[in-house]
Structure 1
């Protein structure tokens, strides 16, 4: 464990030129998020809150989480609370909150703080109602990946993680091709043909044909 001493409001001095000292990040003794002791912000942050980095914490963008958990027309805070918790909350503009907080009346300032505290509590209640932390932690244990990767990575990463655990139990190692090997692999022999429908007004019924479980069925039938 690393204890962070108070700095009395002073900024931590940057490392000396030439890289002689340890990299300095938000916490002394830990490198910056961008790596190498740079003061620049990390580039290419993900949409699940990973552009807001905090050492030892998992930052979640609740708006992105709700877009994947519930189906709504408008993903405002008030609408999400009503859909998940069946509770109506008022929408207070930021300008009004500023007026309350800067008011000389203590009652108005307390009203602004109470409103913000209520919003923070409702965020936690929505996460608890959806059991997001519990389900994500269980999936992380099942796939063998970290908590954040469950929310930010795709299905291919999860499948590779499961295959890696299975191969490790059988004393096998998965091949990791280099970028040069991937670039030298032969191109696809054929590409699927997608025929676009004619856009118009049809007065007669339209028949829709769909191949159920196309890829698994083809793999099983032709041993692909």
Structure 2
């Protein structure tokens, strides 16, 4: 029996789902870690990107910050942060994954505001809109596809990377994979490793599908046709 077949057998055992530390427990931990990390990334990346995009300055800073955060290995941060007052467990995992989530959120927020036609801004100012009104009524609604694309990219990346939380006792689906290595490949551990990997991959695909639907819902209808021709997803490369 190959490891893939053993993984399917592992999935078919109800005890592997419902036992303490089973798949359902690890799934809830994985989702909680990912949700907090993405939320923290949004609290940092979106305001900074929106502010810079609204001012029309700091494009080089956005690219530099995004590239710097992308260049920092997540695994390295997970090994360093536990040595700080954050300690082991979920806090260092959330912070490390939030840093990983910032680049697409920051870059897409900035690009979403800068791609707006300058004539649209001039027309809004000509109607008497203040800077804050321009941001709320014109720029942010037009930047929604880019904001949603950044959220979608960040969430999928975080969900896929959160399996590394197991290295600092952070929980999540990575615990299933680590337990499989502890059992040993010849004692059924290979099937458990495969099952854990499949669970992480399926969860990332599900998050991608859900956020793709959400992106379509929050995108104004007038912008959907434009989105079909050019999907707004700008992620910097290191």
TM-score by length of 1: 0.24
Answer 1 or 2: higher relative contact order, Cα 8 Å, separation at least 6.
Answer: 2
Is the helix fraction higher in 1 or 2?
2
TM-score by length of 2: 0.23
